[in-house]
Amino acid sequence: MLPLILAVLAQGDGDLLERLQRRDGQALAELYDRYGGMVYRLILRIVRDSGIAEDLVQETFLRVWNRAGGFDSERGAVGPWLLAVARNRAIDYVRAAARRGDAAMGLNETEHPALFADFAAEELDLDRARQVKRALEALEAQQREIIELAYFDGMSQTEIAARLGQPLGTVKTWMRRALQQMRASLGWEGAVNA
């Protein structure tokens, strides 16, 4: 869902990634220029603190720099991977802060570069992101809220039920209906069963 909600302009990422893999510092600067604002906004939305968001942006780009060698630019774009790393770093921070009060994080398996090699380029299309945004805006407020809590806050349905003071079954129903409505709005009715 990340590439659909936060679509990126992936044109030229292959060359940029190859330069990163050759340890070209200018390529890292270009990657930051291209995605830095988007990464910051995503992280800020999750952690809700500008100072922490700035630190996590730096950690995100450092992690991508250190792991660029594991990403195959022939099989996918660096944009979805970068945004997933950012999202995972932010969610890890929030969870760790809630449990221990510190930001010591381990590697999250879901940000391994190989997992993002199969993202299709057409899913990075900005027009599709606009369609997803419209589909989200068309949801009822409660449905939109649970989608946002699940996506941006990384909350499970059980955690969402506790936060909203609703039965788990109600939250599951709202989530299922929200996803069905979004699929219908996007013309994906048969793509995935809820």
Q: Residue written as tokens 């709005």?
A: 185
Report residue 140's pLDDT band, with 50, 70 and 90 as the boundaries.
confident
Q: What is the CATH number of domain 2-124?
A: 1.10.1740.10
Taking the C-alpha atoms of residue 106 and residue 35, their distance in angstroms, rounded to an integer, is 23
Looking at residue 12, what is its pLDDT? 56
Q: What is the CATH number of domain 127-186?
A: 1.10.10.10
Give the pTM.
0.53
Taking the C-alpha atoms of residue 2 and residue 97, their distance in angstroms, rounded to an integer, is 23
- How confident is the model over 80-116, as pLDDT tens digits? 778 888 998 998 888 888 776 544 444 444 455 554 5
Listed in order, the ranges of the chain carrying CATH 1.10.10.10 are 127-186
130 pLDDT above the threshold of 90? no
Q: Residue written as tokens 């952690």?
A: 47
Whether the Cβ atoms of residue 166 and residue 142 lie closer than 8 Å to each other:
no
**Nearest to 27, CA basis, from 75, 90, 82:** 82
In the three-class reduction of DSSP (H, G, I as helix; E, B as strand; rest coil), residue 59 is classed as helix
- How confident is the model over 33-76, as pLDDT tens digits? 888 888 998 898 888 889 999 999 999 999 888 888 777 666 66
Q: How buried is residue 118: exposed, middle or buried, by Cβ count under 10 Å (0-12/13-18/19+)?
A: exposed
Looking at residue 73, what is its pLDDT? 62
Whether the Cβ atoms of residue 63 and residue 111 lie closer than 8 Å to each other:
yes
Listed in order, the ranges of the chain carrying CATH 1.10.1740.10 are 2-124
